[in-house]
């Protein structure tokens, strides 16, 4: 009888834990994870497209590689990033008359992309996509 009670207690505890997912999807991802990955991937794409070259990261670095579940958002991310790249190009044309120190080359792109990463507009789009995505 004691073993049966322990078994039932264990089963009820296991089922209670499996039913609670803390606001996460079936894949175990929460909205915060989705939003963070969306924004990080947007930043990486902004730096790549803003500099017209692919980021060269070490083989083990996966920080800018989109997770498998984020590939469906690629078109949305690219459309947002292309709008930002147009702003970078306009800014670069405005600054073309000034010479840039050798060490500063490419820094404006990173600065602009970082501002894009922190922007409320990107946050709003990421939240909206997180709410509509099954991730």
CA 41, CA 67: separation in Å to the nearest integer? 9
- Rg value, the chain, Cα: 22
CA 6, CA 23: separation in Å to the nearest integer? 29
What percent of the chain shows pLDDT beyond 90?
Answer: 35
On whether the CB atoms of residues 131 and 30 are closer than 8 A, the answer is: no
- φ/ψ of 24, rounded to 5, equals -105, 160
| pLDDT tens profile 59-92 | 777 778 888 888 889 899 999 999 999 988 887 7
- The helix/strand/coil state of 60 is coil
**pLDDT confidence tier of residue 23, bands split at 50, 70 and 90:** very low
| pLDDT tens profile 1-11 | 444 444 444 44
| pLDDT tens profile 99-111 | 655 555 567 888 8
């Amino acid at each position: 009888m004691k073993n049966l009670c322990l078994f039932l207690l264990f089963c009820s505890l296991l089922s209670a834990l499996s039913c609670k997912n803390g606001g996460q999807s079936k894949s175990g991802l929460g909205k915060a994870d989705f939003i963070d990955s969306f924004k990080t991937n947007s930043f990486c794409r902004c730096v790549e497209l803003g500099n017209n070259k692919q980021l060269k990261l070490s083989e083990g670095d996966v920080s800018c590689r989109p997770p498998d579940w984020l590939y469906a958002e690629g078109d949305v991310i690219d459309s947002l990033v292309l709008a930002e790249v147009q702003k970078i190009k306009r800014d670069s044309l405005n600054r073309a008359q000034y010479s840039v120190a050798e060490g500063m080359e490419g820094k404006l792109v990173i600065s602009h992309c970082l501002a894009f990463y922190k922007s409320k507009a990107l946050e709003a789009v990421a939240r909206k996509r997180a709410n509509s995505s099954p991730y």
